[in-house]
Amino acid sequence: MTMEAPAVLWFRRDLRLADHAALLTAAGHSKHLLALYVLDERLLQPAGTPRTAFLLDSLRALDAALGGRLLVRRGDPVREVVAAAREIGASAVHVTADLGPYGRRRDEAVAKALAEHRIEWVATGSPYAVTPGRVTKPDGSPYRVFTPFRRAWDRHGWPRPADTSASTVDWVPPRKSGGIPESPALGGMRQPAAGEAAALEVWQEFLDDGIAHYAEERDRPDHEGTTRMSAYLRWGNIHPRTMLADLAGDSSEGAQALRGELCWREFHADVLWHRPETARENYDRRFDRMRHDTGAPAREAFELWCAGRTGFPIVDAGMRQLLAEGWMHNRVRMVVASFLVKDLHLPWWWGARHFMRHLVDGDLASNQLNWQWVAGSGTDAAPYFRIFNPTTQGQKFDPQGDYVRRYVPELRGVAGKAVHVLKERPEGYPVPMVEHAEERQVALQRYGSITGNS
Ligand code: FAD
């Protein structure tokens, strides 16, 4: 490769310029780079409004940082990437590896098509501190349990953030860009600002004010106790290595807990890399025999769950937070997922699909494998007999009821923690759609028949 021949930097889940390993490699090979993004219907179609809006806003921010030099095309990546590379006589296309099931298939097809035109395919880095597949047991097999994975991940370590910025490169002006489409209207939905600058600002604020309280606050949906970095990580507005570097040397409880959460993200990506079929199928194949409810009453129950009208205040608050903000607090994600699987006996993938459509941070690995974790069919799963009681979860993690009142207007007249155990139902608020104690028994019986404990 000569320094004179231009190259393409094809952006995907790495919509930033700082700490960008593929940009560093590309700039080391070519003086002139074309920045490209391809709007791919296969990814846009299932995304839903919040995620699409966040993506398009991230692209606008990236384009601005590049001085308006981002080429945006729409269509089949095989055709569009090859065409964009050929139009400028590129010697190579550089990417950050995308290791999800679709990303791998797509990249193989693009690399093959480029090879036919003698254009090199160069993948550097990944959206993770440690590339999925790299942390294995000594015998080379993948980890199935989080805690030993985390120890091995810590031992493996990761490089320091790559020193990159827009100014190190001569960006080739695009000849005919399709432009970035208008973001879909969010209909009053509250959304954080997208893009690299916003990501770094939110992260810095958290380092200044949040990290000291993270360990005790992260389970409190009524407080702003978590980083809110998930959508930025999803689109690569920030690389996790940047965050880990900022946490390095901090042995406080908060920093340790946060490193652990970032490691969960890496663990799930690693699992999906080894077992791509777990995006749709049970990781633990014994659960293929699990009896789910799927008929017309089940579909009605599902609709009530989606709308946040179950009659269980913490569940309804969570489901309505999802619709209002495209985001839900982690503790409540676990509670509503448990409710769908263990109180309503519905298939986990119904809930996972609803989450993927509405979450601004919807990520195949984190979503599907967290759902499976709650359902018991995943790696390192919660024991089958651990069934969240939605009422006591509410009392424990939303002790004053503030979270519930924020998202369920019908309950705003009920003061304090009484909101979790309603003596009377305020007008318009539904009665509980099931009796938790009874459904718990049904779940125990069904789970027991799978795991041999009944
Ligand atoms: P923080 O507590 O500040 O955590 C920091 C970062 O660590 C997060 O941004 C995220 O990248 C990572 N993280 C934290 N918890 C987890 C976890 N359990 N698994 C994987 N990564 C984690 N997270 C997603 O990013 N996308 C999803 O689609 C998604 N779906 C989920 C579905 C269910 C049923 C459950 C129980 C959890 C899901 N999570 C998902 C994980 C978690 O709820 C969110 O990452 C978290 O709530 C995001 O808020 P935060 O950035 O403020 O989190």
Q: For residue 116, give the CATH number of its domain.
A: 3.40.50.620
Listed in order, strand segments (DSSP E) in 145-295 are 170-171
For residues 83 and 42, membership in a common domain is answered with: yes
Is the residue at 130 inside a domain? no
Is there an atom of ligand 1 within 6 Å of 230 CB?
yes
Q: Which of 252, 274, 296 is the last residue of a domain?
A: 274
Amino acid at 46: P
What's the pLDDT at 273?
Answer: 96
For residues 119 and 210, membership in a common domain is answered with: no
Residue closest to 220 by CA, chosen among 437, 406, 50: 406
Is there an atom of ligand 1 within 6 Å of 283 CB?
no
Q: In which element (H, E) is residue 263 found?
A: helix 253-274
Is there an atom of ligand 1 within 6 Å of 354 CB?
no
Is the residue at 35 inside a domain? yes
Is the residue at 213 inside a domain? yes
Q: How many helices (H) and strands (E) does the chain have?
A: 19, 6
Note the Cα 3 to chain centre separation in Å.
37
What's the pLDDT at 191?
Answer: 84
For residues 380 and 236, membership in a common domain is answered with: no
What Å distances lie between residue 200 and 153, 203, 236, 262, 278, CA to CA? Answer: 25, 5, 11, 16, 33
What's the pLDDT at 454?
Answer: 47
Q: With contact defined as beta carbons under 8 Å apart, do 316 and 310 qualify?
A: yes
Q: Write the residue with the smallest CA distance to atom 50 of ligand 1.
A: 228
Atom of ligand 1 nearest to the CA of 233: 11
What's the pLDDT at 357?
Answer: 95
The number of distinct structural domains making up the chain is 3
Is there an atom of ligand 1 within 6 Å of 214 CB?
no
DSSP assigned state of 97: -
Listed in sequence order, the DSSP H helices in 309-428 are 313-325, 330-338, 348-358, 364-375, 390-397, 402-407
Phi, psi of 36 (to 5 degrees): -130, 140
Q: Write the residue with the smallest CA distance to atom 33 of ligand 1.
A: 370
CATH number at residue 327: 1.10.579.10
Is the residue at 146 inside a domain? no
For residues 212 and 78, membership in a common domain is answered with: no
For residues 382 and 442, membership in a common domain is answered with: yes
Is there an atom of ligand 1 within 6 Å of 25 CB?
no
What's the pLDDT at 221?
Answer: 97
Q: Write the residue with the smallest CA distance to atom 42 of ligand 1.
A: 330
For residues 389 and 297, membership in a common domain is answered with: yes
Q: Write the residue with the smallest CA distance to atom 9 of ligand 1.
A: 230
For residues 215 and 113, membership in a common domain is answered with: no
Is the residue at 312 inside a domain? yes
For residues 336 and 430, membership in a common domain is answered with: yes
Q: Write the residue with the smallest CA distance to atom 47 of ligand 1.
A: 330
Rounded CA-CA distance 90/75 in Å is 20
Is the residue at 152 inside a domain? no
What's the pLDDT at 8?
Answer: 98
Q: Write the residue with the smallest CA distance to atom 10 of ligand 1.
A: 230
Is the residue at 180 inside a domain? no
What's the pLDDT at 2?
Answer: 57
CA of 366 to the centre of ligand 1 (A): 7
Is there an atom of ligand 1 within 6 Å of 363 CB?
yes
Is there an atom of ligand 1 within 6 Å of 337 CB?
yes
What's the pLDDT at 451?
Answer: 77
What's the pLDDT at 382?
Answer: 64
For residues 298 and 417, membership in a common domain is answered with: yes
For residues 361 and 444, membership in a common domain is answered with: yes
Is there an atom of ligand 1 within 6 Å of 361 CB?
yes
Atom of ligand 1 nearest to the CA of 329: 47
Q: With contact defined as beta carbons under 8 Å apart, do 131 and 240 qualify?
A: no
Atom of ligand 1 nearest to the CA of 268: 20
Atom of ligand 1 nearest to the CA of 262: 7
CA of 414 to the centre of ligand 1 (A): 30
Is there an atom of ligand 1 within 6 Å of 355 CB?
yes
User: Which of 265, 272, 314 has the most ligand 1 atoms within 8 A of CB, as the residue to mutate?
Assistant: 265
Atom of ligand 1 nearest to the CA of 351: 34
Is there an atom of ligand 1 within 6 Å of 268 CB?
yes
Rounded CA-CA distance 107/395 in Å is 48
For residue 210, the enclosing domain spans 196-274
User: Which of 325, 330, 342 has the most ligand 1 atoms within 8 A of CB, as the residue to mutate?
Assistant: 330
For residues 411 and 325, membership in a common domain is answered with: yes
For residues 304 and 391, membership in a common domain is answered with: yes
Cβ density class 60-88: b for 16+ within 10 Å, e for less: bbbbebbeebbbbbeebbbebbbebbeeb
- Residue 339's contacts (CB-CB under 8 Å, 6 or more residues apart) are 305, 310, 312, 315, 388, 390
Rounded CA-CA distance 189/177 in Å is 30
What's the pLDDT at 292?
Answer: 96
Residue ranges, the chain, pLDDT below 70: 1-2, 166, 381-382, 384, 453-454
DSSP assigned state of 40: -
Is there an atom of ligand 1 within 6 Å of 192 CB?
no
Is the residue at 353 inside a domain? yes
CATH number at residue 220: 1.25.40.80
CA of 369 to the centre of ligand 1 (A): 11
Q: Which of 125, 156, 185 is the last residue of a domain?
A: 125
As a whole number of Å, the end-to-end CA separation of the chain is 65
Q: Which of 125, 149, 183 is the last residue of a domain?
A: 125
* CA angle 207–168–179, rounded 5-degree value: 85
Rounded CA-CA distance 6/27 in Å is 10
Rounded CA-CA distance 42/262 in Å is 27
